[in-house]
Structure 1
Amino acid sequence: MAVRSAGYAVRRVRQSFTHFRNGPQLLLAMARGGEVTFRTRSGLTIHTPNSPGARFPVYEITADDVYRVDELLAGLRPDFVAIDVGAHIGSFSTAVCARAPRATVHAYEASPSTAAWTRRNAEANGFADRLHVHAEAVSDHRGTLRFVDNGEASAHNGMTAPDGLGGEVEVPCVTFADAHAAAGGRVDLLKSDAEGAEYGYILGSDPALWADVQRVVMEYHPVDGYALADLVTYLAGVGLDLVRDEPSPDKPGLGNAWFARAA
């Protein structure tokens, strides 16, 4: 574990210089404390709390390109509409807006403190008119739900949060139907990192809502009673086939999956 941690740290230091314009300042800010500002080579500005749980998704999305953003967007109509469930501080949403200047993104972030950072990053990049931030969870029901939130924008906040991460909070929640309606009744792309809620809100949704969805990328999580196969079956039924699955080598039931509608 120590060897792996050292290797991870070395990789992130290297990526701070190769993928961000302010590598030295970035590392200095992390060492000093306070907030951190990432300035990507592509021109994005991403503000984040100075905590590992808040920082690592910026590296994953920007440096590791875990969602394969260019490939994901290829072939979509120029003015596509995306829903980002579990938007965190907006790294994915801002990346989409930067690559697709006519696209609209509806970003859902359940943690109220994290959603404030999402809004700040939308504004910092001039995307506030088409990156709409909703401080709500997407779930299998409309109302409220409780989940673990550490108040420091951890990407692990949620239903499957590690023990001891933080305290429980009550937040508003909406259904996929509500999110679909808020997006104008047509959704081309769904990105989901809902920390375990993906099974409930997808499997319980009306199949008709998926008629225009062309691509789905999601991080799926280990949830008792469910497996990726359940999502594969449901999405195949609405015309979205599994095109790639990258399971975690360390944790069963965790991984990333991509779905696409056949041309």
Structure 2
Amino acid sequence: MSVTFVVRQLVLRVRQVFTHFDNPWAILWSIATRRQDVVFEVDGLRVRTLNSPAAWGPVLEVFVEDEYAFEWFTGDLRSDAVAVDIGAHVGCFAMAFARRFPGGSVASYEPTPSTGEYTVGNVETNGLAERVTVHRMAVAARTGSFRMADNGPGRAHNGVLYLGQAGSTTIEVAARSFVEVMADAGDTVDLVKLDAEGAEYDILLGTDPGLLAPVRRFVLEFHPSPDHHFGELRTHLESAGLELVRETSLGPDLGLAWFSRDPLDRTA
């Protein structure tokens, strides 16, 4: 990685802080002075996370880069929309959804114990606890326990994808089956977001596609796997009546995919 590239990325991030957040100087001061946490204020929300690029990167993905294409993908959902957020991180997606749909609700799942502290804190600080329910557990094909890598609180790279990597700690957490998650969500689920750092294959391929009958929209981040590939996920979701409407590559066998049960403009 060249010095020029690093400098350009730094300049870009500083520009993004000033153009998208309401407290740019406080953010930069926290980062520069190496405070333990950094708080991002955006559109009336306060998002606290560990002061590390691996922890606040996902905050920028949601509120700066619009990684999940909120406007396009959720613009026509009902005002009391219901969402399921699997892989909640510090709560950015869930809080952005709740802010967009004042009558809506989110069932949010975050398995990393130390990250879950931030998730719960952010939801409560922003007065969203009545509409965003944080479940501090993993989602899997079966209820029980779940082995994953923990690289530290708030860091995005926690999950099965990083098991055995240098510097990571293997932990075991409680897991709830996707069947139970969907049953609790109700008869109509407007949106499922799945970013489980490699566990998406177990969650989806290990569950009957008929389970997804109540789901109107589904967005997922898929990751490299020695045993599976994105095509299997696509086939599984399409067999449930969800059509691929957009796909974005983020690298080899890594990307985002959006599925919809009803027609959606792919070019918007």
Under a length normalisation based on structure 1, what TM-score does the superposition of the two structures give? Answer: 0.95
- Cα distance in 2 between the residues matched to 1:165 and 1:99: 38
Provide the rounded CA distance (Å) in 1 between the counterparts of 2:153 and 2:113: 11
1:203 equivalent to 2:208? Answer no
Give the aligned residue type for 2:205.
L
Q: Which of residues 194, 218, 222 is equivalent to 1:216?
A: 218
User: Could you say which residue in structure 2 is the equivalent of 1:114?
Assistant: 115
- Answering whether residue 4 of structure 2 is matched by residue 7 of structure 1, we say no
How far apart in 2 are the matches of 1:203 and 1:166? 27
Kindly provide the amino acid, as one letter, of the partner of residue 130 in structure 1.
R
Are positions 1:239 and 2:257 aligned together? no
The number of aligned residues is: 260
1:54 paired residue number: 55
Return the alpha-carbon distance in structure 2 between the equivalents of residues 185 and 172 of structure 1.
25
Deviations along 1:41-81, one digit per CA (max 9) or x if unpaired, are x1111011111111100011100101111222122222121
Cα-to-partner distance string for 1:212-236 (whole Å, 9 max, x where unaligned): 2111111100011211111111111
Q: How far apart, in 2, do the equivalents of 1:62 and 1:153 lie?
A: 16
CA distance in 2, matches of 1:5, 1:221: 25
| Residue type at the aligned position of 1:180 | M
Structure 2 residue aligned with 1:69? 70
Letter aligned with residue 26 of structure 1: I
Match in the other structure for 2:196 = 194
> Could you list the runs of 5+ residues in structure 1 that have no partner in the other structure?
none
2:166 corresponds in structure 1 to: 164
Answer yes or no: is the 8 Å Cα contact 2:191–2:218 preserved in 1. yes
Matches within 5 A, 1:120-199: 120-161=121-162, 163-199=165-201
Q: Offset at 1:150?
A: 2.1
Question: 1:159: Cα distance to partner?
Answer: 0.9
Aligned equivalents of 1:27 and 1:207: distance in 2?
A: 46
Question: Amino acid of the residue matched to residue 118 of structure 1?
Answer: T
Letter in 2 for 1:55: W
1:39 and 2:46 matched: no
Note the C-alpha offset of 1:86. 0.4
Contact 1:108 1:133 in 2 (8 A): yes
Matched, 1:259 2:250: no
Check the 8 A contact 2:187/2:214 in 1, yes or no. Answer: no
Partner of 2:266: none
* Cα pair distance change 1:92/1:165, threshold 3 Å: farther
After superposition, give the CA deviation of every residue in 1:86-121 in whole Å (9 maximum; x if it has no partner): 000011110000010011101100101111111111
1:152 Cα shift? 2.1
Which stretches of structure 1, 4 residues or longer, exceed 6 Å deviation after superposition? Answer: none
Mark the CA change 1:192 to 1:38 in structure 2 (over 3 Å): closer, same or farther: same
Q: Aligned Cα RMSD in Å?
A: 1.3
Query: Which residue identity is paired with 1:152?
Result: P
Structure 2 gap segments, 5+ residues each: 264-268
